[in-house]
């Protein structure tokens, strides 16, 4: 029956794709049997199954997820809205999300808001129209009201932002704890003048700052607390570090709110003619790919990003399959990663301050 060269009918885009009915006709069976065979339903005789598969292959049949979704009233799609794809931080979260979705039998559909809350809302609205079974919001800047509105339609999980909304799962790193880890490391090396560059409105910035303050007090360094305003960008870190170095007592260690700003700070320290870590120790937060570059080799706090994504996806799927289950808050433990930007302070300053 089939030509020698091409196994599939050479469908050009215009011509309609074969349906289950075409396969049925070609296999000499009913559409019901074809449907069952395609889905792997055991209630099909071996011979029928074979005939169906052969016909499907021959025609180049591909299941139509649209029709299937319509009758099943679910899509097995989970939408993921990422506020910013430029932020490498989210790449690994997406990996985790993706892997977990595949493992649970769902597809992850990624949309982005390009750092614009309005665009994010539009993206959510579109995913809702597409009838995704659930949505994961990564680093969202949307208002609580909007999120709550979406949560009415479909289970939602958020990562990166810590909205406490009932019916919404939240997966966060324990930023407070991470900051404590950082300060314990620096204080343990003997530093006393430990300044922090703040992350402003950034995700987790407030927790990191209070972790810093708390750990400083715990180390009896409450008097040395010094928080320089900044943000989570490279230039924010640069400017903040310049101020730290130019005025007041010069810190022997700087804890930046994230890796980006730490890299900016690194540059400011170098420009001031100081060396890292000999003159100033420097820490970041997030353990992004940036921190791992040899040329930078930044001591930082690792967030289990992959796992964050996994857990978020699992949370959504759990609530898809178990409607009515309440949303939870999942807090993950950060980890210290020591690289080359931290060392004990110079003897002189150590003596002077001790």
Partner DNA sequence: AAAGAAATTGGGAACGTTCCCAAGGGAACG
Partner DNA sequence: CGTTCCCTTGGGAACGTTCCCAATTTCTTT
- Per CB under 8 A, residues contacting a second copy are 8, 10-14, 16-17, 60, 62-67, 69-70, 73, 75, 77, 85-86, 88, 90-92, 94-95, 98, 107-112, 114, 125-126, 128-131, 152-155, 234, 238, 263-264, 266-267, 270, 289-290, 293-296, 319, 323-324
- Cβ proximity to a second copy: between 126 and 353 the closer is 126
**Least spacing, CB of residue 280 vs a second copy, in Å:** 14
Smallest CA-to-CA distance from 250 within 300, 186, 194 is with: 194
Q: Which of these segments, 12-20, 284-292, 316-324, 343-351, binds DNA (CB under 7 A)?
A: 12-20
Q: How far apart are the first and last CA of the chain?
A: 91
Residue 262 near residue 283 (C-beta atoms within 8 A): yes
- In order, the DSSP letters of 298-346 are -BEEE--HHHHHHHHHHHHHHHHHSTTPPP-EEEE--EEE--SS--PPP
* 3-state SS, residue 80: strand
Instruction: Tell whether omega for the bond before 277 is within 30 degrees of 0, i.e. cis.
Output: yes
Q: Which option in DNA, a second copy, none does residue 43 bind, with CB closer than 5 to 8 A by kind?
A: DNA
Residue 92 binding partner per list DNA, a second copy, none, with a CB distance cut-off of 5 to 8 Å that depends on partner kind? a second copy
Q: How far apart are CA 194 and CA 119, in angstroms?
A: 40
Give the whole-angstrom CA distance, residue 179 versus residue 161.
17
Which of 71, 145, 223, 351 is close enough to bind DNA by CB under 7 A? 71
Residues 64, 65, 68: CA angle, nearest 5 degrees: 95
- 328 closest CA partner among 148, 155, 79: 155
**Which one among 31, 217, 328, 346 touches DNA, defined by CB under 7 A?**
31
Tell me how far, at minimum, the Cβ of 168 lies from DNA, in Å: 25
The answer to whether 120 and 140 are in contact (CB under 8 A) is: yes
Q: How far apart are CA 79 and CA 74, in angstroms?
A: 13
x-or-dash string of contact with DNA, 36-55, rule CB under 7 A: x-xx--xxxxxxx-------
In the complex, the smallest distance separating the C-beta of residue 60 from DNA, rounded to whole angstroms, is 11
Structure tokens given for 107: 């597809």
Q: Considering the complex, what minimum distance in angstroms separates the CB of residue 127 from DNA?
A: 15
For the bound state, the minimum distance from the C-beta of residue 63 to DNA, rounded and expressed in Å, comes to: 6
Residue 29 touches which of a second copy, DNA, none (Cβ within 5-8 Å per kind): DNA
Q: Does 126 bind DNA (CB under 7 A)?
A: no
- Nearest-angstrom CA–CA distance, 193 and 341: 16
Among 4, 13, 14, 16, interactor with DNA by CB under 7 A: 16
CB of 75 to DNA, least distance (A): 12
> Which residue in 11, 67, 293, 338 binds DNA (CB under 7 A)?
67
Binds DNA (CB under 7 A): choice among 11, 70, 274, 293: 70
Instruction: Say if CB 176 and CB 208 are below 8 A apart.
Output: yes
Among 9, 53, 60, 68, binds DNA (CB under 7 A): 68
SS3 state of residue 354? coil
Which residues in this chain contact DNA in the complex, by CB under 7 A? Answer: 16-17, 19-21, 29-33, 35-36, 38-39, 42-48, 61, 63-64, 67-68, 70-73
């Amino acid at each position: 029956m089939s030509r020698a060269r091409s196994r599939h009918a050479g469908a050009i885009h215009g011509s309609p794709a074969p349906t289950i009915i075409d396969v049925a006709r070609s296999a000499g069976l009913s559409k019901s049997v074809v449907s069952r065979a395609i889905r792997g339903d055991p209630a099909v005789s071996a011979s029928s199954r074979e005939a169906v598969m052969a016909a499907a292959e021959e025609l180049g049949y591909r299941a139509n997820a649209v029709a299937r979704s319509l009758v099943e009233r679910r899509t097995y799609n989970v939408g993921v809205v990422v506020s910013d794809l430029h932020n490498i931080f989210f790449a690994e979260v997406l990996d985790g999300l993706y892997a977990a979705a595949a493992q649970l039998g769902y597809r992850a559909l990624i949309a982005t808001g390009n750092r614009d809350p309005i665009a994010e809302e539009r993206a959510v609205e579109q995913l809702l129209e597409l009838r995704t079974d659930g949505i994961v919001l990564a680093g969202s800047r949307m208002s609580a009201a909007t999120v709550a509105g979406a949560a009415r339609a479909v289970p939602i999980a958020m990562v990166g932002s810590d909205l406490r909304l009932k019916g919404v799962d939240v997966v966060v790193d324990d930023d407070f704890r991470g900051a404590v880890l950082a300060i314990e490391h620096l204080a343990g090396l003997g530093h006393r003048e430990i300044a922090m560059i703040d992350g402003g409105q950034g995700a987790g910035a407030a927790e990191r700052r209070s972790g810093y303050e708390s750990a400083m007090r715990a180390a009896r360094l409450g008097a040395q607390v010094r928080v320089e305003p900044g943000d989570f960008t490279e230039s924010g870190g640069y400017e903040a570090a310049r101020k730290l170095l130019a005025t007041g007592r010069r810190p022997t260690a700087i804890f930046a709110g994230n890796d980006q700003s730490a890299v900016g700070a690194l540059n400011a320290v170098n420009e001031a003619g100081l060396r890292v870590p000999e003159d100033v120790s420097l820490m970041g937060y997030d353990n992004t790919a940036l921190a791992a570059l040899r040329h930078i080799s930044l001591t930082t706090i690792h967030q289990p990003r992959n796992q964050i994504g996994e857990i978020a996806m699992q949370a959504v799927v759990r609530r898809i399959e178990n409607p009515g289950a309440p949303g939870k808050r999942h807090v993950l433990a950060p980890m210290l990663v020591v690289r080359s930007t931290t060392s004990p302070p110079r003897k002189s300053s150590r003596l002077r301050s001790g």
